[in-house]
């Protein structure tokens, strides 16, 4: 019996030691992940898996394609994905978010935005969003009220706002700051009310037997980073 238990433990240890996390990362979400996949989110994910001795291989994609590589089992997981009702039906998540990020409504400076919450925004208002992004459970309730246009990049969003092709957009605050710092027409874009605070995760394939173990080990790694104080340093990029 002792020999049997020892063999089981050895096999479990071997399975962890042989694990590798093959992940997709979005190419248009700086400072969290840029066109090369570099940024705060990548640093946290890499450091967390390093804490539990699991190597990580990163492949960079547009967000919608990154999600597809996980859904079809091509890769183990992708980030940065909001954990909400719609995504929990499609992916496996751990318990520890890799970070939190607030998203807000933005508009052209000439647009008279005087609403206190999303429910007050008139039906039919034009809104541009990133294709495939999640914008929180509350937004899903009001999504049908907007005339929505989808694009692939943050630059396209800002272009549509400054040229007044749409009235509103939703951008993550730190991402908006990153892009607007480099845009000569930044003063034409104004931040309005918050949309949601997003818990950002690595989303793993729902069917893969690796997913629960990878998610659990990532949780462990994030907890170790926080306990050591390294996590706060990584958030500063």
Question: Any alpha helices (H) in 72-209, and if so which ranges?
Answer: 85-88, 137-142, 154-162, 173-181
Cβ(65)–Cβ(74) under 8 Å?
A: no
Contact 57, 22 (CB under 8 A): yes
- Same domain for 96 and 151, yes or no, is no
Q: Which residue has the higher pLDDT, 10 or 191?
A: 191
| Number of structural domains found in the chain | 2
Report whether pLDDT(2) > 70.
no
Burial of 216 (0-12, 13-18, 19+ CB in 10 A): middle
The reply to whether 183 and 230 lie within a common domain is no
Same domain, 133 and 172: yes
Q: Which pTM value belongs to this model?
A: 0.88
Q: Are residues 137 and 223 both part of a single domain?
A: no
Looking at per-residue pLDDT, the higher value among 128 and 14 belongs to 128
- CA atoms of 152 and 237, how far apart (whole Å): 25
Query: CATH number for the domain including 41?
Result: 3.40.190.10
| Same-domain check for residues 215 and 151 | no
**C-beta of residue 189 within 8 angstroms of C-beta of residue 20:** no
Same domain, 162 and 209: no
Same domain, 168 and 190: yes
Q: What is the pLDDT of residue 236?
A: 85
Q: What whole-number distance in Å separates Cα of residue 224 and Cα of residue 49?
A: 10
Residues with Cβ < 8 Å from 237, sequence gap 6 or more? 31, 39, 40, 43
**Pair 7, 87 in one domain:** yes
Per-residue confidence at 4, pLDDT binned at 50, 70, 90? very low
Give pLDDT tens digits for 11-59. Answer: 444 355 679 999 999 999 999 999 999 999 999 999 999 999 999 999 9
| Same domain as 134, residue 87 | no
Predicted confidence (pLDDT) at residue 136 exceeds the cutoff of 50 = yes
Looking at the fold, whether 106 and 89 belong to one and the same domain comes out as no
Q: What range does the domain containing 116 cover?
A: 102-197
Give the distance between the most distant pair of CA atoms in the chain: 76
């Amino acid at each position: 019996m002792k020999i049997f238990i020892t063999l089981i433990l050895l096999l479990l240890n071997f399975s962890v030691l042989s694990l590798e996390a093959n992940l997709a990362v979005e190419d248009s979400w700086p400072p969290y992940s840029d066109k090369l996949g570099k940024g705060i989110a990548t640093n946290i994910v890499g450091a967390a898996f390093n804490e539990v001795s699991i190597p990580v291989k990163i492949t960079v994609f547009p967000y919608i394609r990154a999600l597809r590589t996980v859904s079809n089992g091509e890769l183990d997981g992708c980030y940065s994905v909001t954990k909400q009702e719609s995504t929990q039906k499609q992916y496996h998540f751990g318990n520890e978010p890799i970070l939190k990020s607030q998203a807000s409504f933005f508009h052209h400076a000439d647009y008279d935005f005087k609403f206190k919450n999303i429910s007050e925004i008139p039906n039919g208002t034009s809104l541009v969003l990133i294709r495939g992004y999640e914008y929180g459970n509350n937004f899903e309730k009001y999504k049908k009220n907007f005339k929505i246009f989808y694009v692939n990049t943050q630059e396209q969003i800002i272009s549509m706002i400054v040229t007044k092709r749409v009235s509103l957009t939703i951008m993550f605050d730190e991402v908006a700051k990153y892009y607007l710092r480099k845009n000569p027409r930044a003063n034409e874009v104004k931040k309005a009310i918050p949309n949601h605070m997003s818990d950002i995760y690595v989303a793993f394939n729902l069917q893969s037997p690796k997913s629960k173990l990878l998610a659990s080990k990532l949780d462990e790694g994030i907890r170790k980073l926080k306990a050591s104080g390294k996590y706060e340093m990584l958030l500063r990029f």
